[in-house]
Chains A and B, each alone.
Chain A
């Protein structure tokens, strides 16, 4: 034994040091790290020189200064006297609003269209294929411009606003609809809604356990819908059924009162949802095709209906294939929401861009944008990875 290891030791040492793998490995890494460090040092020193020669202050001190510009819509109260930090938060909340809504709607559309593309009805399958092939191959920014122009140019001015339902007005300035006059009953309704969701979740869990144990089916969907809709309705009735509404009215050149959805938000949401929906549809279709056809046949042989086969047998298996690419589509949608800057929706990039133009602090502004998007991206992929692990086959790999 000793002899063998001694012999090996001598052969290793007999290699000249510049041909030794380990020394080379260290050398390569040192060279790469030194290169990266030099590049960074070069860029940083240039940047500092340039900033000092242009008299631009560095650091994030500007965040507490007054922003002084208005934003067209905001989730939280905001006025131009608030700080840059506040306006960036407004932008971030707008980004999150459009991303969350977009992800939900795009998933719905994508699932429906993906299933429809595999429909046995030829016409339905053609419709789905035309939608997917048509919109997938056109840049999303072009689609955003198109929707935005369509809303602002093709819809009438507020004076001739379309009035499809009483109190609802559709014009080039967006959609206006009545807002309930908020009272304690509405708060109770909110609590009832949360309670309904919680109870429905519990029922669904219990029903699934029971189905796995005994095979008995329970009408989970109908019961859950009843709970989620019924409990707030009961709260509303007990609260005296308040019906007061703040109806929008035409004052001068625009409406006042009521709630509004701006053209920018609508165009962004519609554009992102329709575009991302095509990709999700293809992912759903691929996932369903990846489930062996024998599974469908076995389900049909058990006497399940086509809908039940899809819901109970095919989709639960397809979802394991679907989740990883779906995650990257969610990330894409969130990142594409930054195109808001091109149509004037005050999202994070748009507000940060205005801040950069006003203060000249490009480095800090872009650092904020990138840091926020990295955080959001990492959060989404962490959540989806957690979900992926939860639904993965237990014991596989």
Chain B
């Protein structure tokens, strides 16, 4: 071979290379072979010890873990008391008292619901969750979902109230725990959503009177805390109604939550409406659609698609906010957890009670937030112009 640069080689010469004697491949020092151990080592070096401050941070973090994890594991697992009904055993053990959760889980989950009838709220909760999971699969987004929900609502109402088919009647005052939290949030979602769409459309309306009514309502509700809305529902609602007419506490709280959520959802929907290009409105006008046809067939399908992530976020915060009904004395999941540790002998074990309930809330909210990320990817059809 000559010393000529390679790109001047003729085709013949290129073929000539094939007859060169075989040379074993010697790795250059820059490209070391990567076994699993070496790859892990390099990853650690790049992500944990890339510089002096990083190394210090990592060491500090490891020290924190060392300080926190063993005592926590010891508390939660090794020294924990799992069974029994004796608080003194728990005190001696010095670890977590999961026996408390074992003792009280039915009260925490179902509140004051009659003990022997608690299979009914359990069944209702299972149906609710199954319906929710079904609704979350895009595969099942068919018209029959609405029918399924009506059936589920009816069945749950039947189970919770009873009074027929040999089930004893249970007043809403005895409802509590997880079913109550789920009812407040799911009914709140279902009822506030259409209201929110109307409010959002009203806020973008050309008619000044309708617009100002909607703006006034939305801004007023968004400016005050939910606590004050609930107070209003519990203290002022009875004053608003004609004499002799009473509605129960649960319904009052539910109405308060619906009105409050609707104002926030309306802003999410409005964001979606604003994201629909002007041309879509004009095109709908041009083909002669009326207002409701234009909105229902052209604008809202596009707007709601865009506003699904903020809507789900609003649902998450509403689910957490149902815990505020403790302030007006409803027995939701948080109230039962707080009441369960009110007995003097169980008082030291408030951590277990709150952790148990926090895990329930956390799993629902975490699932919803992951689901909203999934929807965002699913809905991203790449039509966005940026």
Residues on B with beta carbons closer than 8 Å to the beta carbon of A29: 207-210
CB <8 Å contact, A362 and B239: yes
CB <8 Å contact, A141 and B323: yes
CB <8 Å contact, A53 and B226: no
Q: Which of B50, B64, B208, B338 is within 8 Å of A145, CB to CB?
A: B338
Known A123-B58, A127-B61, A137-B362; judge A142-B243 contact (CB<8 A).
no
Q: Which of A32, A127, A138, A378 is within 8 Å of B320, CB to CB?
A: A138
CB <8 Å contact, B366 and A137: yes
Closest CB of chain A to B248's CB: distance in Å?
18
Give the distance in Å from the alpha carbon of A119 to the alpha carbon of B50 in the complex.
Answer: 12
Residues on B with beta carbons closer than 8 Å to the beta carbon of A338: 225, 227-228
> Which of A171-179, A363-371, A383-391 is the contact stretch?
A363-371
CB <8 Å contact, A120 and B225: no
Known A25-B207, A51-B239, A142-B323; judge A124-B61 contact (CB<8 A).
yes
Give the distance in Å from the alpha carbon of A322 to the alpha carbon of B64 in the complex.
Answer: 31
Find the residue from B62, B238, B350 having the highest chain A CB count within 10 A.
B350
CB <8 Å contact, B224 and A335: yes
Whether A339 is near chain B, meaning CB under 8 Å from some CB there, is yes
Whether B347 is near chain A, meaning CB under 8 Å from some CB there, is yes
- In A6-51, the 8 Å CB interface with B consists of 25, 28-30, 32-33, 36, 43, 46-47, 49-51
Give the distance in Å from the alpha carbon of A140 to the alpha carbon of B227 in the complex.
Answer: 13
Kindly report which residue of chain B lies nearest to residue A122, judged by CB atoms: B47
CB <8 Å contact, B243 and A50: yes
**Size class of A's contact patch?**
35 or more
Give the distance in Å from the alpha carbon of A29 to the alpha carbon of B350 in the complex.
Answer: 55
Contact with B along A111-130 (1 / 0, CB 8 A): 00000000111111001000
Known A139-B321, A366-B228; judge A32-B210 contact (CB<8 A).
yes
Find the residue from A51, A141, A366, A378 having the highest chain B CB count within 10 A.
A141
Residues on A with beta carbons closer than 8 Å to the beta carbon of B286: none
A contact face: mostly helix, strand, loop, or mixed: helix
Q: Which of A28, A145, A339, A370 is within 8 Å of B224, CB to CB?
A: A370
CB <8 Å contact, A142 and B334: yes
Find the residue from B231, B334, B366 having the highest chain A CB count within 10 A.
B231
Give the distance in Å from the alpha carbon of A133 to the alpha carbon of B362 in the complex.
Answer: 9
CB <8 Å contact, A47 and B206: no
Residues on B with beta carbons closer than 8 Å to the beta carbon of A36: 213
CB <8 Å contact, A139 and B240: no
Q: Which of A49, A119, A124 is within 8 Å of B243, CB to CB?
A: A49
Residues on A with beta carbons closer than 8 Å to the beta carbon of B323: 139, 141-142
> Which of B28-36, B109-117, B121-129, B353-361 is the contact stretch?
B353-361
Residues on B with beta carbons closer than 8 Å to the beta carbon of A370: 220, 223-224, 228
**B interface residues with partner A (beta carbon < 8 Å):** 47-48, 50, 54, 57-58, 61-62, 64, 206-210, 213, 220, 222-228, 231-232, 235-236, 238-243, 316, 320-321, 323-324, 326-327, 334, 337-338, 341, 347-348, 350-351, 354, 357-358, 361-362, 365-366, 369
